[in-house]
């Protein structure tokens, strides 16, 4: 305790002495206070810099990020300009908005034709092939457009001929009739054609390599008319008929049957032609075959019969030839009724041997017509 009292007295004495000294001397600068002041100022400056930096960053972020408010409509990005062809440039295939090539000026589409590929003719026979083509381009076909022979055996086809004598607008069709002559030697022959514009541009279909053509077989001494029946012009009281036709067509019909069921109950493996008459008074069916050279010592043969089960069938079949003026001359005629039998026809054509002759079939109804249907089995001209 004494020690503590003593120490307290010493401490008080030292404090009093210090106080006396301060009153007699200038007040010294407190170094700690200066340090504290400088530190405070440094902290203040750093704080100010941090705040300003944050404000700048916030402002930049606000400019870079669009408002997410649902009240605002985002601005669509401006598309890059499309390439524009320079003056005088001609694109080879303009494109539509859908990315498909624009329809070319000159383009054809196939519709139909006569004389099927492989039709048989005798040597030197004259015939006419027709094609129906549609204008699938966007330019009108005029009388200055042509059909041109491009390859194969021409078969007396012209090197070029007018396509049309009137304007054929896009979407319309034109019928091309080409006169031809079968070669004099037996064999297979093909002639190919394209179109030519008024500017001399050769064209045809979408595939630029494709053509339209006629393809035939030239026979020797035997001519099976069932093989080339669509080379004939078929007609009835309603006018020209399609070939092949369809069974039951109201205006009459003709079609080929490779395995016909005959009136006598048999089924044959040789081709037959089915001929159907229009169900009308004075109905007839006529076929005018292309002019042909009849072989020497030839004859016409066939087997005539009614459609099996058509008990009311009664017809007259007449074989004719046509002269240069279009007149018909009978070579022979036969009447057929449904009696369960077929009629074998054989008629001499030696008087026409070596001559260019136009053969004509004529089928007439006898009595009250009832849509009579008959067959000609293996209609042939042969030695």
Instruction: Give pLDDT tens digits for 3-24.
Output: 444 545 555 555 544 444 444 4
Q: Is the pLDDT of residue 88 over 70?
A: no
pLDDT tens by residue, 247-290: 989 899 999 999 999 999 999 999 999 999 988 888 999 999 88
**Residue appearing with tokens 């026809």:** 345
Which helix (H) or strand (E) segment is 292 a member of?
strand 292-293
pLDDT tens by residue, 306-351: 999 888 899 999 999 999 888 999 999 999 999 999 999 999 999 9
Would you state the structure tokens that stand for residue 190, as one six-digit string? Answer: 């093909």
CATH number, domain 108-220 = 2.60.40.10
Contact 210, 195 (CB under 8 A): no
Contact 150, 196 (CB under 8 A): no
| Cis status, amide bond into 244, omega within 30 of 0 | yes
Task: Tell me what the mean pLDDT of segment 170-198 comes to.
Answer: 94
**CATH for the 224-382 domain, from 3.40.50.1100, 1.10.10.10, 3.30.70.2190, 2.60.120.260:** 2.60.120.260
Locate the domains of the chain by residue range: 108-220, 224-382
Spatial neighbors of 371 by CB under 8 A, at least 6 apart, are: 276, 277, 278, 279
- pTM value is 0.55
């Amino acid at each position: 305790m004494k020690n503590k009292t003593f120490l307290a007295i010493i401490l008080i004495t030292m404090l009093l002495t210090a106080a006396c000294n301060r009153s007699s001397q200038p007040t010294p600068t407190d170094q700690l206070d200066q340090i504290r002041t400088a530190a405070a100022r440094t902290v203040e400056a750093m704080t100010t810099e941090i705040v300003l930096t944050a404000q700048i960053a916030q402002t930049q972020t606000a400019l870079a990020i669009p408002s997410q408010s649902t009240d605002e409509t985002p601005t669509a990005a401006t598309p890059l300009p499309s390439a524009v062809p320079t003056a005088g440039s001609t694109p080879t295939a303009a494109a539509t908005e859908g990315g498909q090539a624009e329809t070319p000026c000159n383009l054809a589409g196939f519709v139909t034709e006569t004389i099927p590929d492989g039709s048989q003719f005798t040597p030197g026979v004259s015939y006419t092939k027709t094609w129906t083509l549609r204008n699938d381009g966007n330019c009108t076909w005029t009388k200055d457009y042509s059909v041109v022979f491009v390859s194969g055996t021409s078969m007396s086809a012209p090197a070029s001929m007018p396509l049309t004598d009137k304007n054929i607008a896009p979407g319309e069709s034109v019928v091309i009739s080409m006169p031809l002559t079968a070669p004099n030697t037996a064999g297979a022959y093909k002639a190919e054609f394209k179109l030519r514009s008024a500017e001399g541009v050769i064209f045809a279909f979408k595939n630029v390599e494709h053509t339209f053509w006629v393809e035939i077989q030239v026979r020797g001494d035997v001519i099976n008319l069932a093989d080339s029946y669509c080379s004939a012009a078929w007609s009835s009281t309603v006018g020209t008929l399609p070939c092949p036709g369809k069974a039951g067509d109201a205006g009459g019909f003709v079609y080929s049957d490779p395995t016909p069921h005959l009136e006598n109950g048999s089924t044959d493996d040789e081709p037959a032609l089915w001929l159907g008459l229009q169900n009308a008074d004075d109905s007839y069916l006529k076929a005018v075959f292309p002019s042909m050279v009849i072989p020497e010592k030839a004859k016409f043969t066939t087997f005539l019969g009614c459609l099996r089960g058509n008990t009311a069938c009664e017809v007259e079949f007449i074989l004719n030839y046509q002269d240069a003026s279009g007149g018909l001359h009978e070579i022979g005629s036969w009447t057929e009724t449904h009696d369960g039998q077929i009629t074998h026809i054989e008629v001499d054509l030696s008087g026409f041997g070596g001559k260019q002759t136009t053969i004509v079939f004529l089928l007439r109804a006898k009595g009250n017509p009832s849509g009579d249907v008959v067959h000609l089995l293996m209609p042939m001209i042969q030695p």
